[in-house]
Amino acid sequence: MKEALKLYEYQEGILDLLRLGFQQGHRTQILVAPTGAGKTEMAIALLRAAAARGNRAAMLLDRIVLCDQTSQRLQKYGIDHGVMQSGHWRYRPYESIQICSAQTIEKRGSFPGLKVLIVDEAHQTRKQTVGFIKNNPEVRVIGLTATPFTEGLGAIYSNVVSSVTTRELVQLGRLAPLRVYVAKEIDMTGVKKVAGEWSQDEVTERGLKITGDIVTEWVKKTHEVFGGPRKTVVFCAGVAHGADLAKKFADAGYNFVSLSYQDDDQFKQDAVAEFAKADSSIHGLIATDILTKGFDVSDVMIGVSARPFSKSLSSHIQQMGRVMRSHKGKDFALWLDHSGNYIRFQEDWDDIYESGVHELDDGKEKTKNEKTAAEKEAAKCPRCSHIWQSAAGSCPCCGFVRERRNTVTAVPGEMEELAGSGKLKQERREWYGQFLFVCRDRGYKPGWAASKFKEKFGSYPNGLQADPIPPMPEVSRWLKASHIRFMKSRHRTATA
């Protein structure tokens, strides 16, 4: 029995912004939305609208299994389509809507009559796909991604549409918030880097050294938080690390299945299908990165990060997204960080969580400077290792009360400010100063800066002193997102 395709209000708003972009002359646009925002449903709505106008439309995916999943989704909504793959049971080249793999397009080299192309996982820029986009100027293109940080995207897509943030989806109940614990970290001291990222072989070798700690921490936390084992995904440091973890979990009495590129597709599909069952016999899946695409088992409650990244913010966000999907009875997801990634990328993640992404090639995919040992300790609760919220006076999980002390540590020849109330106040002063600059530069009313400050931080400046300073990219992106939200709300009010 087919279901009706229904979109949320924010999804309708995103589609309206895409249509506006085309009207303004943008032939290629990129739709940026967090995992769980429903990008596939929005894509299906666009495909159906194009077909209804008599246009030929296609969705491009980078794996055959994803083509099958998308085809099943279209079938669920009763939408006629074909899968452009020789020998596929749904090979129907006459249909207006086509689902195809990137490899198929690359082999064909052309797509006669195509008017609309939707590119899934657009941050993965395949050379042939980019060539097809540039060589077919009559085709309107929409890229889909949650992590648009690949260098060169700005040369492919001329407009970014991003009007819903992770924070907003959590508030809407579309995503589950994370409860993050910083666990024993894989020691990456002295590991060589290749193109800015740690060597895979050495990452695997280092990961093997703390396999026992990873299993022990999981057993401890799953019982402390949930009273027993819950569905888990583990992002390991390599194939050998994954196999070792599966063995150690088995020794502890738990069924974890390790998946890698060395396994055949049928084995991986069967394992994921079993894991997706409500009464699955599998406690957890272990993989390096194959669970970051097309994996939407929403009742996963725990994620274990055990693959350190030096610069890949995209991989970090994609991994967290696997456990943040909402599910009935799921108030939060547990994130156990053995990689150091959460603290390493925390500033970028906090910015994206709050404000989203509104520009391409913004330099986020660069090697991150490692935090000092003191900064890492200051970032977590000393009693339970839950990630510490800088503005909080006590740990939200164990209730440990933060000791109030001077947050400036003196060492010979320098002073280093650690995370704490001083840093928080300085951050707010800087934001307020940038709001004041924009207010003065654009001739807004005097209260505008204070109003924006309250929108950002939840309270007015209340005597906070700041000098006007030109806005940094982070503040400019936040202001743009704020304006988009305001315009959408005004539009809703006018059409109510």
423-469 tens-digit pLDDT: 567 788 889 889 999 988 888 887 898 889 888 888 788 778 888 88
Instruction: Report the CATH number at residue 125.
Output: 3.40.50.300
Residue 267 or 493, more confident: 267
Residue 290 or 347, more confident: 347
Q: Has residue 465 been placed in a domain?
A: yes
Query: Tokens at residue 307, please?
Result: 């693959």
> 230 burial class (0-12, 13-18, 19+ CB within 10 angstroms)?
buried
Q: Has residue 111 been placed in a domain?
A: yes
Q: Has residue 155 been placed in a domain?
A: yes
> Is residue 338 located within the same domain as residue 469?
no
User: What percentage of the chain exceeds 90 in pLDDT?
Assistant: 56
Q: Has residue 475 been placed in a domain?
A: yes
Q: How far apart are CA 310 and CA 490, in angstroms?
A: 42
Residue 435 belongs to domain spanning: 422-495
- Whether the pLDDT of residue 402 is over 80: the answer is no
Q: What residue type is 478 in one-letter code?
A: W
> Is residue 228 located within the same domain as residue 295?
yes
- Whether the pLDDT of residue 418 is over 60: the answer is no
Residue 420: band (very low, low, confident or very high) from pLDDT cuts 50, 70, 90:
very low
* pLDDT tens for each residue of 365-382: 888 878 888 888 888 888
Q: How far apart are CA 279 and CA 286, in angstroms?
A: 19
> Is residue 212 located within the same domain as residue 321?
yes
Q: Has residue 412 been placed in a domain?
A: no
Residue 496 or 484, more confident: 484
pLDDT at 208: 92
Strand spans (E) along 264-374: 284-287, 302-305, 333-337
* pLDDT tens for each residue of 70-109: 999 999 999 999 999 878 899 999 999 999 988 887 787 7
Residue 428 or 8, more confident: 8
> Is residue 223 located within the same domain as residue 281?
yes
> Is residue 241 located within the same domain as residue 366?
yes
Q: Which of 1-5, 67-71, 228-232, 364-368 has the lowest mean pLDDT?
A: 364-368
* pLDDT tens for each residue of 478-489: 888 888 877 777
pLDDT at 216: 95
Q: How many domains does the chain have?
A: 3
pLDDT at 295: 81
Q: How would DSSP label each residue in 200-266?
A: HHHHHHHHHTTHHHHHHHHHHHHHHHHSS---EEEE-SSHHHHHHHHHHHHHTT--EEE--TTS-HH
Torsion angle of the four alpha carbons 142, 147, 153, 157, in this order, in degrees rounded to the nearest 10: 30
Q: Has residue 152 been placed in a domain?
A: yes
Q: Has residue 4 been placed in a domain?
A: no
| DSSP 8-state secondary structure symbol assigned to residue 451 | H
Q: How far apart are CA 318 and CA 316, in angstroms?
A: 6
